[in-house]
Structure 1
Amino acid sequence: MEIRDYEYILIPNILEKYKCSMSGECCQSKWRIDIDEQSYLETKKNLEKQKEDIDTYMGKHESGAYVSKFANGYCKLITEDKKCRVHQEFGWECLSDTCKIYPRNLKLTSRGMEIGMGFSCRSSAKLLLSKEKFYIKKIKKEDYFFMKPRSVSFIIPENNLKTEISSRYYELEQMAIDILNLDENLYVKLQYLEKLISELYGANIEEYDFKESVEKFKEFIPSVPNNENLEDEIVRIILEKQKRSKAVGIYYINLLRLIGLNRNLEMDKKILASDSFTLTKSELDELKKVWKEDYNTILQNYFLCLTFNKEMYYNPEYFMMKATMLTIFLKFRIMLNTKYLGRELTEAELIYTIKSHDEDLAHDGEFFSEFYKAKCDEKVNISELTKTLLTLIA
C-alpha cells in the first residue's frame, strides 16, 4: 500500500531509543536481501552513469531483485569501510525499502504508523535488556525520524466483520500487553494468555470484555507444568528447521553434542563421531540449572515485541504458537551457550546470542507457517502443543 498521510508514530517505549551503530553487520546477513523494482532501476541508472553494470551487484528472481554477495557474505555494494555505497553515492532515496527500514517492522494502521522491530541486529537486540515497563508510546510524526519506505503493509481492524477477532485487534493486543506487564511469574502469565486466546475462538467477540479478562488473572489457577515430551518436541523442531537450513540445524546439534561430552576421550570420540544426537529430560533439567531468573525480563520483552509486530491480527492461535517457539528457543540458546562456556554470559555475548537466535529463526517466516500447517494437517491440537512448549519457561 502506498503511504498515505498519518499523524502519529506508535512504538514500544523500549524500542524508541534504537540507534544504528553503523557496523555493517546487516549487510552481511545470512538471508537474501531483496530489492524493490524502483530501487533496482534507480541504482541501475546511477551505475550506468559510472560505466558499471548492475549485474555485477544484483541478481533477478521471479518477484524482483536481490543483492549479490561476496564470499564472506557482504553485499557487493558495501565499501571497504563498511558503508553503503548506494546511500553514500546515490542518496537514501535510492535505497531499497528493505535497507531503509531494517531492523524495523512497519505497519500502517488506523492509529498511525506502527514501528516494531526485529532483533537480528546487535543494536536492537540490546534493547531487550531494558528493565523499563513495556508500553506503546504515541509520538507526533514530526518528532520521530526514520527513513520512510515507498510502500508499507497495512491493517485496519475496523474494516473487519464485527464477529471476527481481528475487528477488535487493538483491545486484544492491549490485553496481551497488560497481562504480560503484571508483576507475576512469566510462565503463569503466558499460560493464562494462551488460555484466553484459545477461548476467543468460541466467544462472542462483539460482547467480549478484554479488560475484565485481565482482571480475572487473579482468579486464574495455573496448571502444574507437564513437560512430558518437551525434549522430543524441541528435537523435532530442530530437525524440521534443519530441512530448511542445514547450518542452523547443525549449530544446535553440535552444541548439544559438545555439552554432552564427558571429558573422557573414548566416550567423547563416540559422541563426536556419531551422526545422531539426543536431548533427554535429565539433560534438559541440567540445562535449566544455568538459567538466570533475571533473563526472564529479556524473554518477556521479546514476547511483548513479537506481540506488537501484528502477527496476532491474522491468526491468534498461530501467533501464540510461533511466539512461544521463538521465545523458548531464545531461552534454549542462552542456556546452551552458557553451558558450553561453563560460565555466565557477558553482556556482549548475551546480545550476540539474541541476535544470532533471531537471525536464524525469526527471519524464516515460511518455516513457522509450514510447521503450523503440517501440525494442523496431522490433526495436532495446537493449543496443547503450545502449552507443552511453554513449560520450558516454567
Structure 2
Amino acid sequence: MYIYLDIIKEFSCEMCGQCCRNTWQVTMDEESYRRNARLFREKGREEEFSKAFIPITGKSELGEYAYITKKSSGGCWFLAEDHLCLLQGEAGHSHLDAVCQTYPRYPMNTARGMELTLSFSCPAVIKLVSRIEPIKILRSEEPPMVILPNNYVVHVFPEQQSIYNPLHYYFEIEHHLLDIMQCRQITIGERIQLLKETLWKIDDFKKDDTLGQKLNSIIYTNYELMDGKEVITQPAEHCTPEILMENFFVNFIFKKPFYLYGLQKGIELIEKIWQTIESVKIETDNLPKDMEKISQSIMELELQYSHNRKSLLT
C-alpha cells in the first residue's frame, strides 16, 4: 500500500538549482562512491574525482560513506551556470546518488506501507502548496512516483512499541493531529495550542493500563470541541499565510516527528517552529509580500529539520 499527500503527483522539478546551492552536505553510500570512481577513472579524470568526492572520516550516519564537495563560491561541485547538474548530464539521472535522485521526495517505511510526502525546502513545492484546498492523504496499490528501493528516510512500526507506550497508538494519534491542524474554524495559533495540550494529556497516561480508552476519550472530547466552533471567517479567495502555515504543519506531522523523537521532544519541536513562524511580521494589507515572507521562513525551517535537524533538536 502507498499512502501519500496529494501534492506528490503534482510535483515537477523547475530546475531552479536552489537545492544544489543549499548549505546541507550531500552524502552518499559506498556503492555510489565506487560507481563515480569508475566513471571518472574511465574518463581519465582521477584528479577531479579526488577533489569532488570526499570520504567521510570519523563518525557518520548509516549509509553515509562520502560527500560531494562544494565550490568555493558556494553550490555543488557539479552545478552548472544554467542550474543543471553536470554529472547527470554526463551519466544520466540513474547514476546520481540516492539523495539527489530522491529530493524533494520524502519516502517513509511504515507498518501501513510506504508513505510519501515532499520537502518544503524546495521552492517548487512551496508553489504547489500555496493553494486554498486542504492537503489530502491518498491511498493506492500503485506507487505515485518512481521510488528507489530501500531508500527510506524513516521507519515507523508502532506495534513494536509496548501497549503502555502512547506510540503504540501512533497512527490513531497522527490522524487526530492532522484533523486538528486542518480545523479552519480556529486560528493556527489555537490549533497549535490544542495539538500541544492533546499530546501533553496523552503523554500523562503512559504506562496506564487504560491508555487506549483514555486516548479515545481525549480524541472524542477534541472532536466535540472542534465541531462546536462556529465558522467566523469567510472562505478564502486566495491562499493566505495562515493556509500556507496549515499546509506546512500538516506535512510536518505526516513526516512522523512525534514517533521519531517521542511526544515531549515533538512538542518542543513544534513550539520552536511555531515561535519562528509567529515572529514573521505579517502586514495583512500586502498579501504577496506576506506570502513571500512566510514561504521563506517555512523553507528555512524545513531545511533545518529535514537536512540539518541538530540545530532544531538541541
After TM superposition, the score normalised by the length of structure 1 is 0.66
Q: Which residue of 2 aligns with 1:358?
A: 302
Give the whole-Å Cα distance in 2 for the aligned partners of 1:137 and 1:98.
24
Change (3 A) 1:72 1:139: farther
Counterpart Cα distance in 1 of 2:275 and 2:8: 21
Total equivalences in the alignment: 288
Quote how far apart the aligned CAs of 1:41 are. 0.9
The whole-number CA distance in structure 1 between the counterparts of 2:32 and 2:105 is 19
Bigger Rg, which one:
1
C-alpha distance in 2 between matches for 1:211 and 1:194:
17
Q: What one-letter code is carried by the residue in structure 2 that aligns with 1:140?
A: E
**CA offset at residue 332 of structure 1?**
2.3
Distance 2:93 2:12 in 1: 17
Whole-angstrom CA distance in 1 between matches of 2:98 and 2:156:
19
1:148 matched residue in structure 2: 148
Is structure 2 residue 97 aligned with structure 1 residue 70? no
The answer on 1:197 being equivalent to 2:199 is yes
Structure 1 residues 218 and 69, CA, compared in 2 at 3 Å: closer, same or farther?
closer
Partners in 1 of 2:276 and 2:177 — Cα distance? Answer: 21
**Paired residue for 2:269?**
322
Per the alignment, residue 263 of structure 1 pairs with: none
Distance in 2 between residues matched to 1:150 and 1:112, nearest whole Å: 13
Matches of 2:146 and 2:243, distance apart in 1:
27
Cα distance, 1:219 vs structure 2 = 5.9
TM-score, reference length from structure 2: 0.81
State the 1:12 CA deviation: 1.6
Letter matched to residue 16 of structure 2: S
Name 2:38's counterpart in structure 1.
45
Amino acid at match of 2:114: M
CA distance in structure 1 between the partners assigned to 2:150 and 2:306 by the alignment: 24
Cα shift at 1:147: 4.1
Tell me the alpha carbon deviations over residues 47-82 of structure 1, each in whole angstroms, 9 at most, x when there is no partner. Answer: 111111211212122232111111231211233432
1:57 to 43, 49, 52: 52
Structure 2 equivalent of residue 11 of structure 1: 4
Match of residue 232 from structure 2? none
Letter in 2 for 1:305: N
Secondary structure of the residue aligned to 2:73 is: coil
Bigger drift between 203-212 and 43-52 goes to 203-212
- Alpha-carbon distance between aligned partners in 2 of 1:182 and 1:72, rounded to the nearest angstrom: 45
Aligned equivalents of 2:81, 2:182: Cα separation in 1: 45
Residue 20 of structure 1 aligns to a residue in which SS? coil
State the SS of the aligned residue for 1:141.
coil
Across the aligned residues of Structure 1 and Structure 2, the Cα RMSD in angstroms comes to 2.8
Deviations 1:114-164 (A, max 9, x none): 11322111011223322222332112334x123415532422111222111
Aligned residues of 2:20 and 2:75 also touching (Cα < 8 A): yes
Q: Residue type matched to 1:34 in 2?
A: T
Q: Hey, what does 1:182 align to over in structure 2?
A: 183
- Aligned residue number for residue 233 of structure 2: none
User: Structure 2 stretches of 5 or more lacking a match?
Assistant: 227-237
* Alpha-carbon distance between aligned partners in 1 of 2:175 and 2:223, rounded to the nearest angstrom: 18
Tell me, in whole angstroms, the C-alpha distance in 2 between the residues paired with 1:293 and 1:91: 37
Aligned identity (percent) is 20
2:90 is the counterpart of 1:125: no
Q: What amino acid maps onto 1:217 in structure 2?
A: N
Taking the aligned partners of 1:310 and 1:322, their CA distance within structure 2 comes to 12
In 1, distance between residues paired with 2:5 and 2:14? 20
Question: SS at the partner of 2:192?
Answer: helix
Deviation string 1:315-351 (CA, Å, 9 cap, x unpaired) is 1121122123223313424x27x69xx9553456654
- Encode CA deviations 1:284-320: one digit per residue, 9 max, x unaligned: xxxxxxxx99311111111111100011113112112
Stretches of structure 1 that go unaligned for 5 or more consecutive residues are: 1-7, 222-291, 371-394
Change in CA separation of 1:123 and 1:81 when aligned onto 2, cut-off 3 Å: same
2:251 corresponding residue in structure 1: 305
**Equivalent residue of 2:168, what SS?**
helix
After superposition, the Cα gap between the structure-2 partners of 1:209 and 1:15, relative to the gap in structure 1 and judged at 3 Å, is farther
- Rate the CA distance shift 1:149–1:125 in 2: closer, same or farther, 3 A: farther
What residue number does 2:288 align with? 345
**Cα distance in 2 for residues equivalent to 1:90 and 1:155:** 34
For 2:304 and 2:193, how far apart are their aligned partners in 1?
A: 26
- Return the letter of the residue paired with 2:151: S
Q: Which residue of 1 aligns with 2:235?
A: none
